[in-house]
Amino acid sequence: MRTVSAPILAALAALTLALVSASAETAPPPPLTVFAAASLSDAVAELAARYERDTKRSVRLSFASTSTLARQIENGAGADVFLSADEEWMAYLDERRLIAAGTWIRPIGNRLVMVAPTDRARAVELSKGFDLLALLGDGRLSTGDPVHVPAGRYAQQALEYFSVWDIAEPRLTRAENVRTALALVERGEAPLGIVYATDARASKSVRVVAEFPAASHEAIRYSFAVVSGHDRGGARELLAQFTSPDALEVFGKYGFVIP
């Protein structure tokens, strides 16, 4: 059997190491994962596409209700950036040290509106004790589940403000997120829904019939942050992109309130 000399083995080893190093240098960085509230779907998808185009790094997007995403992060889901629809769930994670220090920012807001299918839309005058049952007829009121979904919690506050929560609660369809609540109205399965103004704006199948005054509910402020343990490797840069002047312009285009 022919043996390979030591110099040749050394050369082969050096060549292998060089090839491995070159491969590591040219390998694309791993994707960044963003967990985002469902109401952010359109704007965040556009911003992620811009980031991918500019950096050649892929971004994975997961949209759901804020509470669902927060629980997943609490249970160890591999999110790099969390975009919450309210401050409460971000505070929940922050108290558990699951948010990277110094990254929590509140860049945008929203408004709360009542919507109806376009072909059945009639303006609703909001006043104390307004006749919600007459507006619903035999149907139900669609919104996010107030226990888990920020939009639903704001809806409950607004209905309490107008003294109709006790009437609304038994007729509520508690959707898993605000986009699902919107879809029920779009399909005509609910005659009325309470969603964010941005969701209504994104749909051609519903029309805003009333806008709830800011005084009727807590301020709707979104919270963005990097997830603890993921504050390196591009997550901070991605968050900076989502809160840059150009990004805020995109959010504004979709109807979000820029403080």
- DSSP 3-state of 212: coil
Angle between helices 41-55 and 245-253 (to 10 degrees): 140
Q: Which helix (H) or strand (E) segment is 122 a member of?
A: none
Could you give the maximum distance between any two Cα atoms of the chain, in Å? 97
Instruction: Give the mean model confidence (pLDDT) for residues 124-149.
Output: 97
pLDDT at 8 (0 to 100): 54
Q: What's the CA gap between 46 and 62, in Å, rounded? A: 14
pLDDT confidence of residue 12: 47
More confident call, 26 vs 61: 61
Q: What is the mean pLDDT of residues 252-257?
A: 96
**Can you name the residues that pair with 83 across neighbouring β-strands?**
36, 224
Is the pLDDT reported for residue 152 higher than 50? yes
- Whether 5 shows a pLDDT value over 70: the answer reads no
> 228: pLDDT confidence band, cut at 50, 70 and 90?
very high
pTM of the predicted protein model: 0.84
- Residue 41: how many other CB atoms lie within 10 Å: 19
Percent pLDDT > 90 in the chain is 86
Find out whether 158 and 169 touch, Cβ atoms under 8 Å.
Answer: no
**Stronger pLDDT, 232 or 165, i.e. the higher one:** 165
Residue 233 — pLDDT band, cuts 50, 70, 90?
confident
HEC readout, 219-249: CCECEEEEECCCCCCCHHHHHHHHCCHHHHH
SS3 35: strand
pLDDT at 130 over 60: yes
In DSSP terms, which residues pair with 109 in a beta bridge? 221, 257
- d(C-alpha 100, C-alpha 229), whole Å: 7
Instruction: Decide if 59 contacts 48 (C-beta within 8 A).
Output: yes
Taking 50 as the threshold, does the pLDDT of residue 61 lie above it? yes
* Confidence at residue 93, expressed as pLDDT on a 0 to 100 scale: 98
Question: Structure tokens of 107?
Answer: 């860049």
> Could you give the CA distance from residue 51 to residue 40 in angstroms, rounded to a whole number?
16
User: Which two three-digit tokens encode residue 80?
Assistant: 């790099």
pLDDT band at 1 (very low <50, low <70, confident <90, very high): very low
Residues 18 and 128: their CA atoms lie apart, in Å, by 75
Tell me the chain's radius of gyration from C-alpha atoms: 24
Q: What is the pLDDT of residue 109?
A: 98
- At 10-53, the pLDDT tens digits run 544 554 454 444 444 566 788 999 999 999 999 999 999 999 99
Q: Residue 3: what pLDDT?
A: 53
Q: Which residue ranges form the domains of the chain, and what is each CATH number? A: 32-109+221-253 (3.40.190.10), 112-216 (3.40.190.10)
| Mean of pLDDT over the chain | 91
> Rounded to whole angstroms, how far apart are CA atoms 223 and 104?
7
DSSP string covering 144-172, please? E-TTT-HHHHHHHHHHHHTT-HHHHGGGE
Q: What is the mean pLDDT of residues 133-143?
A: 97
The pLDDT score that the predictor gives to residue 259 is: 85
Q: In the chain, what percentage of residues exceed pLDDT 70?
A: 90
**Per-residue pLDDT tens for 181-221?**
999 999 999 999 999 999 999 999 999 999 999 999 999 99
